Chain A
Amino acid sequence: QSVLTQPPSVSGAPGQGVTISCTGSDSNIGAGYDVHWYQHLPGTAPKLLIYGNNNRPSGVPDRFSGSKSGDSASLAITGLQAEDEADYYCQSYDRRLSQVFGGGTKLTVL
């Protein structure tokens, strides 16, 4: 059971948008700590998508965006493309456990 809760799966058709939620508690996201997001393609290393709740590293398309409110955060992906099909993880700091990840969400592009 992960400290940060994500839906196991989401799906969307090419061109559509999806949102992936990440719910924490008052010992992590709700305590004001930032949320970061990673994309993990099979057989590759995870890739940073969003850091500091809503910042994109250089090279990440603006189709990816992040937000945070209260003890939850969200990753939004617009204009879905086939290559977006991957696992997505949120990550934050927890006062008791240090760095923690969500359980991951599998995105299927229909």
Chain B
Amino acid sequence: QVRLQQWGAGLLKPSETLSLTCAVYGWSFSGYKWSWIRQTPGKGLEWIGEINHSGTTNYNPSLKSRITISLDTSKNQFSLKLSSATAADTAMYYCASGEYNWNDVWFDPWGQGTLVTVS
């Protein structure tokens, strides 16, 4: 049974870099796309980006210039960095395991979420 546990700084000042890490328990990285998803206050879910077991990334075009998703296979962890944060980046951030069939990806399970406030 795959389990995800995430952590990172919950309060940032504008222009700082958001940094979150997600640990994967009960599975290796192969065969899945490891993703970050956020929910801004009062709004829906927004996919941020993904990384696969070989380190290939795919990012949301609207965030691409500010995002880096990386993998540490030795620790079974993957991470998100979002630079030049603004108040618009205030959100609940989730890591998620993506099972896939070509471009069709579905997310299960999800991490517990980390509330990040930029103020």
Q: Chain B binding site: helix, strand, loop or mixed by DSSP?
A: strand
Chain B residues closer than 8 Å to A45, beta-carbon distance: 94, 109-113
Chain B residues closer than 8 Å to A104, beta-carbon distance: 44-45
* Complex contact A99–B44 (CB within 8 A): no
* Complex contact A100–B106 (CB within 8 A): no
* Complex contact B61–A93 (CB within 8 A): no
Q: How many A-B residue pairs have CB under 8 A?
A: 67
Chain A residues closer than 8 Å to B16, beta-carbon distance: none
**Which residue of chain A has the shortest Cβ distance to B95 in the bound complex?**
A45
A23 at the interface (CB under 8 A from B): no
Residues of chain B from 79 to 119 with CB closer than 8 A to chain A in the complex? 94, 99, 101, 103-113
A102 at the interface (CB under 8 A from B): yes
A97 to chain B, nearest CB (A): 6
A46 to B45, CA, bound (A): 10
A102 to B61, CA, bound (A): 17
Interface size class of A (residues with CB under 8 A): 20 to 34
> A48: which of B60, B103, B107 is its contact (CB, 8 Å)?
B107
Given contacts A45-B111, A101-B45, A104-B44, contact A51 B61 (CB under 8 A): no
B77 at the interface (CB under 8 A from A): no
Chain A residues closer than 8 Å to B72, beta-carbon distance: none
**Which residue of chain B has the shortest Cβ distance to A101 in the bound complex?**
B45
Chain A residues closer than 8 Å to B35, beta-carbon distance: 99
> B44: which of A2, A48, A96 is its contact (CB, 8 Å)?
A2
A57 at the interface (CB under 8 A from B): yes
A102 to B44, CA, bound (A): 7
* Complex contact A99–B105 (CB within 8 A): yes
Chain A residues closer than 8 Å to B58, beta-carbon distance: 98
A55 to chain B, nearest CB (A): 9
